[in-house]
Each structure stands twice: as C-alpha cells, then as structure tokens.
Structure 1
C-alpha cells in the first residue's frame, strides 16, 4: 500500500457515498422512478450519483421538458427525506468527522437542506457549520459552483482546499474548481481522483503546526 500526505487549509466534503452510505435509499427511489418512465433501472443507477435529481433526469430523458424534471425532483427529495432505512456512516466517517472538529471544513452536497439534515442525523454525524446544499447553487455538479462557494464561505482559495468525493460528477466538479480530490469508495477510483481510498478508515486527519490540515492517506 502507498501512503500519501496532503496539506490543506480547508476540506470540502460531499455527503452521499463519501461520509454517508445512502445507497439503499437511492437505489429504492431511483429504481421506482426509472421503472415509472420505462427506463432500465440498472443503467439509470450508473448516472444518478453526485448530481441533483433534475440534472440526472435530464441526462436520462434528454428530450423531456426541464419543468417536469424539477417537479419530479421535488417529489424525489420528499421521498428520499422520508426514507432513512439503511442510511449509515461510511466506515471511518465518525472518527474522521470528530477529527475535523475545530478545523475548517464544509459540506458540499447535491441534497437539499432537509435531506442533508435527515441523512446526517440518521448516520449520527455532526453537521458542519458551513454547508452548501441544492438551494445554495444555480448549477448541479459536475459544475464546480458548489465547491467554489464552499471555499469562499470558509475564506480560502480553491488551491488551498481538498475535496472528498465518491462520484464521477463530484470528482469532475472538484477538479474543475482547481482543487485536489480524494476519491472515497468503490466508484471513485475509476474517475481519476488525485488519491483514492476504499473508505475513511484510510484517512488520518491532524492539525498542522501552521494551523492547516495534515492528511495522511493510505491508498487502496
């Protein structure tokens, strides 16, 4: 195994698939939606991760009016918020988040505030003081807007931030923002993050002597 050390001034964390495992809910809700629209559910599930729901629907049904996607997205968010069965922390996430207490970090998620409250609560993880949710941005990942906004709210340049992400859309967004990206979980390595780990048990967080953040990462 290879050990990599990264230094940062702030960390920007995706939620689903990165610190919270919500795959069971995502699969239930999106399979139902795909079947309602005559789509292959297995193929649909390959593109749902990382994006806001309306953006996923636009990929899957490119000729469909966007207002219908936004209507379905609202219903999807309500269904996902009400369903927390099987929502658990990603291995290592509780210790990872505890180590970040007092260090600059933000949640940058495609979920809205209600869904992020529900899933972070179900996983037993502390909500960062700074979070960028669906309501905060005009464009979904892979657009970098969310990560750039998170960095700005924390008061740091993009080059001083490290992103933690699991999806192609999220990794693309982090790179487009000019940030280094740590890929987490089974989906991440295929999308060329700077470093890839199986889960957060492979990441050690420490306060650096200069006030920054020192990450010791065991790849794999």
Structure 2
C-alpha cells in the first residue's frame, strides 16, 4: 500500500479483529449456535463480526422475540468469556498500544467489560483507561453511539478522532459518528474506510509538540 500520513487528537480502537485476534473463539461459539438453530455457519459468521450478539441474533432470526435473543446472548457471552484458546494479539498491536501510552485513546467494543478484560489480558495487551463497552451504550454498532461516547469521554470532537476498525458494522458506526476510519486487516477491505492497512505493523504513531498525534500508514 502507498504511504499515507494522517493526524488526530485522539484514537478510538475496536478490540476484536483490530487489536485482538479472537476469530478462533468467535468461530467456535457462533458456529455451535448456528448448528443449534439450523443456520448456515458461513452466513452466520458473515453477520456477527462487530455487532453485539443479541443484534446479530435479531438479524439472523428476525421473527424471534428480542427477550430470547438477550437471554441467549448472556449465555453466549459466558461461553466466549470462558474460552481463550487461540486468542493472540493482532500483528503490531503490542507496539501500537505501547506508542499510545500517555496519549488520548479509548477502547470502543461491542463486547461487555468482562469479555474485553479477558480477551485483552489473554492477548497480553494493556487495557486503555477509557472503555466504551456493551454496558455503556443503548445501541450496538453500526449505530455511532459508542464512538460518539468515546470521543466525548476523551474530551474531543468526533472530527478530531481517528477510529480503528476491522468490521463493516464498526466502520459504518465510526463514519456515521463523523470520524475518519482506518480499516485493519482483510475483513475491512470490503468496506469504505478512509484508509486501509494490512495490520497494525503498518502504523507508526508519533506524538506532536501541540499534543496531537501523527500517524504514518504503510
């Protein structure tokens, strides 16, 4: 990819697929769920990335009462939290987060806080001080609420923030919030992020004298 340079005042980071490679766990849990409901596993996996579980269930089983989805999602979260086999950092994530130490950044994830803490810990990654998790919002990605809340908690306007995402739902949410978006990894390529990188190994972060951040991509 050609080199690009972008600036921002703060970064808002998705977790699964962006910082943490949890695909093995997600595949195991959601394919079991798909089999129980007689659904095609490949189709289910196409839907679930980036969204809260109960919203994915609502899209996949649209005639089912939401209270059933919420109940099953609680069980799904318990299964996912208990399963850390195969969780690793996305390439470049440790150095990327180390470069952000002391700089304004937040985690904006569709996981609940317990799952976020388990997965970041299993990947050996530091948890940002500012967390926007499933409990923090009333609407899941692709709704922009989580990114808007993350910007507000850090004290910056959405236009001053740069989001990092891997999923279509997450990229749509960040764009709807009025932010530029760096799409990370192959899953992001199908969606209209502002820039794409193959991995976080292609991102270099430099703090600027004015307090902003300069990022070199590529």
TM-score range, shorter chain: over 0.9
List aligned pairs for 1:160-171, cutoff 5 A: 160-171=160-171
TM-fit CA distance, 1:79: 0.2
Aligned to 2:118: 118
Map residues 204-219 of structure 1 onto 2, 5 A cutoff. 204-218=204-218
- Match in the other structure for 2:51: 51
- Cα displacement (A) at 1:189: 1.3
Aligned to 1:41: 41
Output the CA distance in 2 between the equivalents of 1:106 and 1:115: 16
Cα distance between partner residues in 2 of 1:157 and 1:210: 16
| Match in the other structure for 2:21 | 21
Aligned to 2:151: 151
User: Please, what TM-score do these two structures have when normalized by structure 2?
Assistant: 0.99
Deviation at 1:209, TM superposition (A): 1.9
Aligned length, in residue pairs: 218
Who is 2:61 aligned against? 61
Report how far residue 37 of structure 1 moved: 0.6
Structure 2 residue 67 is the aligned partner of structure 1 residue 71? no
Q: Which residue of 2 aligns with 1:172?
A: 172
Q: What's the TM-score, normalizing by structure 1? A: 0.98
Counterpart position of 1:10 = 10
Q: Which runs of 4+ in 1 moved over 2 A?
A: none
**Alignment match, 2:105:** 105
Q: Distance in 1 between matches of 2:201 and 2:47?
A: 26
Classify the secondary structure of the residue corresponding to 2:140.
coil
Where does structure 1 lack aligned partners over 5 or more consecutive residues? none
Q: Corresponding residue for 1:81?
A: 81
Name the counterpart of 2:95: 95
SS of corresponding position for 1:47 = helix
Give the whole-Å Cα distance in 1 for the aligned partners of 2:7 and 2:210.
10
